[in-house]
Amino acid sequence: MSTHPILVTGGTGYVGGRLIPRLLEHGYRVRAMVRSPQRLLARPWGRHEGLEIAKGDALDTEAFTAAGSGCTAAYYLIHSMNAHKGRFAAADRKAAQNMVACAERNRMERIIYLGGLGEKDDAHLSHHLRSRHEVEGILESGRVPVTNLRAAMILGAGSASFEMLRYLVERLPVMITPRWLRTPCQPIAIGNVLDYLEGCLESPATRGRTLDIGGPDVLNYQDLIGIYCTVAGLPRRVVIPVPFLTPWLSAKWIHLVTPVPASIAQPLAEGLSIPVICRNNDIREMVKVRPVGCEEAIRTALERVRQEQVDTCCHDGGGRLPPEWVTCGDADYAGGTVMRRGYRIVFEGDPLCLWRTIEAIGGRNGWYFAQSAWRLRGMMDRAAGGPGLARGRRHSQKLRVGDTLDMWRVVDRQPPHRLVLLSEMKAPGDALMEWRVQSGPGSRVTLEMISRFLPLGLAGLTYWHVLLPVHDWLFKGTLRRLVHLCGGKEIQGPEIFAVDTAPQCRL
């Protein structure tokens, strides 16, 4: 085994976030290139002695090349499915060219790429699958040998495909579906994907090859629905195929019914219309794995969901990074006038109980106060194309940086004193919600909730001022409810206080 590090791109994504700890466990040194190092540092293995974290963007040629310095091989796990507002193909193209440049300048021995099944010359190939095949060609155009692994639907707790299947089946006893729900496919369990990715690194025979990877079952999506019902103990669903459901309409419906956003649902729906099955099984002779069937994969994924042991989720890799005004300490010169509002309550009680209650907010636990108002805001956001309350939380009690929390994303967490959430809902501006817990003399505890908003034009200013009375009522009520849930005794407040403008965010 080489003592040189292995470069992993897409390390905060669904597959990369599972591959890295597996490589570390098996003795490899790993260098992960990510846009947000804090997201990796928050993982259980984020401070492993064999892990190096390089901050960089795949679209930044110099940062990409620097991240690969000294690495002998690279995993290319980047897909711009929901990035750049429809310009994903150009983004994929540029990132792949940067991967080639990085590998050549650093004299790497190989690149391993995870792409998608589907015939290149199929006239019905979706734009995203076509882009993935284009990426294959770009990677192969360089001087460094490439192993292209092509997979179809990945079955695993937290994967976009599995979450779409799970929510559709569990929420809809009767389904109006496209006719191409009967298109053949060959799903693969996430465990087998990782088996093949690692196995390729250890098998010289896979170098310079394009290899299809899939599970042992070839079936259609209607069959998958039936298998899910059996494993989950649900009555069989009534499936009614109709000819008029386009991928665009399907994506909008998936967005409303499941946590999968339309930006990801659309490429998934488009890919359902063509057969995605393995045309060769050569890899089975090169990398020995135990093939996992669909029923076992779904059962394992459901068990992980029910036990709240979802290692990575389809929401992890994307999402927004904190805007500049957050990292600059919300100074006005960082991009406009930041609107601020602080709410404070002082009580006698247990600060650790308070912290645990704050950290458990959202998801199935709700937002503690005026839940109907939160549900209404969630429905409005979902209708506008935002996440709404559909995403929930990865774990009912624990958070980590990078986690999605309903309409928010965790951007900073300093237990048991500070939690910062960045809004990902549709709004005319950027919003930040910060919770601070301060212990005083005796059992005196101060809880502060701070709202920051950088408005976008007149619409943003109007949005802030119109909703300010609602926010005053909502956040004061939430503070009182938190104190009540912890059995505390109110001393002062809740009240509005002036928020300081000094830099606060350690992001």
The Cα–Cα gap between 79 and 430 comes to 25
- DSSP-assigned beta bridge partners for residue 445: 347, 439
Domain with CATH 3.40.50.720 in the chain: 6-306
Helices 294-306, 160-171: crossing angle, 10 deg rounding: 80
Query: Based on the number of CB atoms within 10 Å of its own CB, is 376 exposed (0-12), middle (13-18) or buried (19 or more)?
Result: exposed
Measured CA angle at 224 (ends 275, 262), to 5 deg: 70
What proportion of the chain, given as a percentage, has pLDDT over 90? 65
Question: What is the reported pLDDT for 81?
Answer: 57
User: How many beta carbons lie within 10 A of that of residue 258, not counting itself?
Assistant: 21
pLDDT, tens digit (0-9, with 9 covering 90-100), for 374-387 = 999 999 998 888 88
Asked which of 13-27, 304-318, 353-367, 418-432 is least confident by mean pLDDT, the reply is 304-318
In this predicted structure, the answer to whether residue 411 has a pLDDT above a threshold of 80 is yes
Is 251's pLDDT higher than 90?
no
Instruction: Output the pLDDT for position 36.
Output: 87
CB atoms within 10 A of CB 123: 6
Question: What confidence category does residue 179 fall into, taking pLDDT thresholds of 50, 70 and 90?
Answer: confident
CATH superfamily of 6-306: NAD(P)-binding Rossmann-like Domain (3.40.50.720)
Q: How far apart are the first and last CA of the chain?
A: 36
Tokens 């929510």, located at residue: 167
154-155/188-189 β-pairing: parallel
Task: List the structure tokens of 33.
Answer: 């290139």
Q: What average pLDDT does range 42-47 have in this prediction?
A: 91
Pairing of strands 408-414, 418-423: antiparallel
Task: State the SS3 of 200-252.
Answer: HHHCHHHCCCEEECCCCCCEEHHHHHHHHHHHHCCCCCEEEEECCCCHHHHHH
Distance CA 171, CA 225 (A): 12
pLDDT at 112: 98
Q: pTM of the prediction?
A: 0.84
Q: How is 272-333 classified by DSSP, letter by letter?
A: TTS-B--S--THHHHS------HHHHHHHHHHHHHTT-----TTTS-SPPPPHHHHTTS-GG
Residue with tokens 């994967």: 159
Q: What is the pLDDT of residue 385?
A: 82
Beta-strand pair 154-155/174-178: unpaired
C-beta separation of 437 from 351 below 8 A:
yes
Q: Per-residue confidence at 261, pLDDT binned at 50, 70, 90?
A: confident
According to CATH, the topology of domain 324-497 is Alpha-D-Glucose-1,6-Bisphosphate; Chain A, domain 4 (3.30.530)
The pLDDT assigned to 124 comes to 67
CA angle 135, 146, 1 (to 5 degrees): 135
Residue 176: which pLDDT band, with cuts at 50, 70 and 90?
confident
Q: What is the mean pLDDT of residues 206-218?
A: 96
pLDDT (0 to 100) of residue 503: 44
Q: What is the pLDDT of residues 438-488, one digit of tens each?
A: 998 989 999 999 999 999 989 999 999 999 999 999 999 999 999 999 999
Q: Which two tokens stand for residue 415?
A: 């237990």
E strand or H helix at 124: none
Give the model confidence (pLDDT) of 298-326 as tens digits: 999 999 998 888 888 877 766 566 665 55
pLDDT digits (tens, 9 = 90+) for 74-128: 999 988 655 444 567 888 899 999 999 999 999 999 999 999 888 777 766 777 7
pLDDT tier, 26 (very low <50, low <70, confident <90, very high otherwise): very high
Which part of the chain has CATH 3.30.530.20? 324-497
- For the stretch 314-348, what's the b/e string if a residue is b when 16 or more beta carbons lie within 10 angstroms of its beta carbon? bbbbbbebbbebbebbbeeeeeeebbebbbbbbbe
More reliable by pLDDT, 245 or 228? 228
CA angle, 305 then 190 then 64, to 5°: 110
| Residue 389 · residue 424 · CB < 8 Å | no
Q: For the chain, give the mean pLDDT.
A: 88
